[in-house]
Each structure stands twice: as C-alpha cells, then as structure tokens.
C-alpha cells in the first residue's frame, strides 16, 4: 500500500473534544493535516482547535450532534466549503450506559445505539458519495474491543459495537470496486480517557475502567497510521488482541467471565449517584487522559484467565470425538 501524505489533506474528526478524539486531533495537526473538528460542545472544540493551530495546522470548528443526520451532512458541507475536499473522515463518537439491562432505561439504551451506531452511519452516509465523486478517500470507524468481546452490564454498548463491525464489513464489500476508497476499523483496548467518567451510570456504584489501561495517544497514533496506510482492521493494545483471540475460541466463556468480573467489582465499589452522564448533554471537561492509570493495580489475571480458559475449551472441543 502506497503511503499517503497527510500534509495539506483535510480530516473530519467527530468526538474531537476529549479523550481519543482530542489526542487524534493533535496527532493529525502534527502531521500537517487540515482539521474539521466536531462535537456537541463548542467551547472545548475551540480549545482543541487553538492547540492544533499552535502546531501550524488549519482547524475549523463545527459543533455537531452525530445522532442528527442533518447536522452531520452540514458538517461535511462545511468541510468541503472551507477546504474544497475531504480526504479522511474519522467516526470517533462513543458513549456508554452502564447498568443491568432491565434497570437501565430503554431510552438510554436507544440513545447509545443512536450515538454509537447511527452516528457512524450518518458520518459514512455524508462522506461516501463525496469520496466516490473523487474516487478516493479514507473512512475510519473507531469501534473498540467491545466489537469482539461482549460487555455484560453495558448491553447497548455491546450491541452498537458488534453492529459497527458488521456495518464496516458490509461497507468494505460495497466499496470493493473502488480501489482507492478505504473503510478502516480501529479496535482499541481500554484507554485511560474520561469516557467512563462521562458514561451514564445506573449501577449506584462508582465506575472505573478495567485494567490494563493504555495511553489514549496510542489509539490516536493508530488512527493517523491507517489514514496514511489504510488497512481493514487495526487492534490497539495487547489486551484487545488477547480478548479478541479468546472470544474467537469461546464467546460463551468470554461473556461469562466478563459478567463475573463486573459483578465482583460492583459489590465492592463505593456508592455513587445514578445519572445519565453525557447521553443527552455534552460532557464537561476536555482532557485526553482520564486519570485512572495512576490508581490501577498491576493485576491482569482476568485477561489471561479469559484467554487461557477459552483456548483450553477450544482445545477440548477439537479433541472431542465427533
């Protein structure tokens, strides 16, 4: 694959105000790209834009709610009007609602699907015709290891991520006749972002992401890398690779262990008020890092147990007489 030059290219990035999105904006700015930054809250977007401009990049801020197809179309139009073309589009918005399926309001489940799954649909629908008219372009779908290993107590999140994997595979099939239009998926492990702090929480317990946690800048580097050298699937972090392999061998064991880990954590976690998080209103704060890594215990037994157990079950299934 020929390496693509990003300097002077136009990148549209949704979910750009914090976490992986903010880190990705700065990484593209360092690469010399023109940036069109989207999220619901204009104030942190302007902050990110100023940091990008300080790195020598041009940056346009377009406040956008990706659950609204008309706003996403307006985002694409604003990018073309300002920079004449779109070369890379990154669907990066992701929200979550944590709680048992029945105790989580159905409206919250719906909102997660609208943001995570339909938000990516809206982005792809807004830009692919443009790519086809130019016969080139890179669409990057930020997904997560949740597309391979289900997340018990976050059912809508799992549904959206599994759906995104199928969505991307379908698009790649449709785009196979366009050799210079690429649909690329990025599957990061748990990153130390503010995402868990921003998530809707219906458990009544304080939430924190499961270890091991990785620097969000790793995911940003992966996104920039696939924009330069497109490839269908990129996994970020050893934990994501291990859990993906474990799920492939034994999905049932993977989800069973996931549920037991969450239940064990919730039994001992501090109490916290229930709330809708950033489902219906923009997040407060625009940091890249979530601040969880400094308190993380270096205990990764659960990841290796999941992988080892899955591989053992797979081996038993292979040996069993048919």
Catalytically annotated residues: 157
CA distance 68 to 143: 20
Neighbours of 53 (CB within 10 A): 13
DSSP 8-class letter at 318: H
**3-state secondary structure at position 68:** coil
With b meaning 16 or more CB within 10 Å and e meaning fewer, what string describes 7-30?
eebbbbbbbbbbbbbbbbbbbbbe
Question: Is the peptide bond prior to 212 cis by the omega test (within 30 degrees of 0)?
Answer: yes
Whether the CB-CB separation of 186 and 236 falls below 8 Å is answered with yes
Pairing of strands 181-188, 137-142: parallel
CA distance 141 to 153: 24
Q: Are 187 and 16 in contact (CB under 8 A)?
A: no
Q: Is 319 left (phi over 0), alpha (psi -120 to 50) or beta?
A: alpha
Region of 84 (left: φ > 0; alpha: ψ -120 to 50; beta: rest) is: left
Exposed/middle/buried for residue 194 (C-beta within 10 Å: 0-12, 13-18, 19+): buried
């Amino acid at each position: 694959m020929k390496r693509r030059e990003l300097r002077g290219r136009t990148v549209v990035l949704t979910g750009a105000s914090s976490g992986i999105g903010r880190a990705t904006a700065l990484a593209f700015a360092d690469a010399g790209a023109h940036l069109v930054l989207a999220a619901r809250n204009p104030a942190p977007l302007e902050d990110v834009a100023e940091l990008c401009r300080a790195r020598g990049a041009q940056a346009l801020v377009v406040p956008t709610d990706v659950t609204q197809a008309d706003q996403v179309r307006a985002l694409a139009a604003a990018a073309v009007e300002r920079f004449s073309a779109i070369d890379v589009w990154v669907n990066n918005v992701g929200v979550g609602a944590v709680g048992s399926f029945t105790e989580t309001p159905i409206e919250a489940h719906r909102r997660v699907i609208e943001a995570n799954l339909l938000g990516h649909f809206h982005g792809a629908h807004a830009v692919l015709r443009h790519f086809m008219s130019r016969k080139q372009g890179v669409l990057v779908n930020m997904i997560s290891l949740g597309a391979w290993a289900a997340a018990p107590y976050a059912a809508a999140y799992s549904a959206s991520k599994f759906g995104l994997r199928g969505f991307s595979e379908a698009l790649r099939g449709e785009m196979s006749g366009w050799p210079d239009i690429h649909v690329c998926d990025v599957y990061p492990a748990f990153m130390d972002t503010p995402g868990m702090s921003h998530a809707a929480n219906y458990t009544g317990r304080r939430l924190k992401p499961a270890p091991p946690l990785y620097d969000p800048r790793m995911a940003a580097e992966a996104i920039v890398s696939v924009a330069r050298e497109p490839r269908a699937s990129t996994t970020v972090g050893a934990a994501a690779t291990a859990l993906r392999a474990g799920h492939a061998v034994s999905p049932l064991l993977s989800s069973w262990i996931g549920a037991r880990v969450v239940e064990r954590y919730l039994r001992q976690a501090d109490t916290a008020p229930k709330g809708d998080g950033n489902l219906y209103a923009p997040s407060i704060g625009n940091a890249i890092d979530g601040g969880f890594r400094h308190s993380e215990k270096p205990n990764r037994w659960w990841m290796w147990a999941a992988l080892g157990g899955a591989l053992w079950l797979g081996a038993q299934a292979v040996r069993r007489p048919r």
